[in-house]
Amino acid sequence: MNDVPTMYKPKTDNLDKVASCDIFGYLIASQGLTIHSLPLDVVEKLYELRRVSTTYSSYINTMLLNIIVGNEIDDYMDILTDTPYQFITTDGELVSVDDLSWI
């Protein structure tokens, strides 16, 4: 049995078909944040990523609206794990992501 999570990276050529929570998990987990991170730290990181990303900026805007206006932070945070650089996809698979905290 293989207990090592598979590496995950969304297909950026068709992000419209990737679940918002999976994009969130990828972006936030790749920054080393976990389920125990403060929601304020997560929102701050999303704002930082939005400033430097052209690929994900519109998706980050939607996430921020859902979190700030829609009060959906728990829905997003629930897919993070105790382990940095891992999250649970909307399909229920535990995956690892590259460390992109240098961004």
Listed by start position, the domains of the chain span 18-96
For the stretch 63-96, pLDDT in tens is 999 999 999 999 999 999 999 999 999 999 999 9
Burial (Cβ within 10 Å: 0-12, 13-18, ≥19) of residue 11: exposed
Q: Model-level pTM?
A: 0.92
Place of tokens 């990181």: 45
Q: Helix (H, G, I), strand (E, B), or coil: what is residue 94?
A: strand
In angstroms, the first-to-last Cα distance of the chain is 34
State the DSSP H helix or E strand holding residue 82, giving kind and residue range, or none if neither: none
User: How far is the C-alpha of 27 from the C-alpha of 97, rounded, in Å?
Assistant: 9
The amino acid sitting at 30 is S
For the stretch 20-33, pLDDT in tens is 999 999 999 999 99
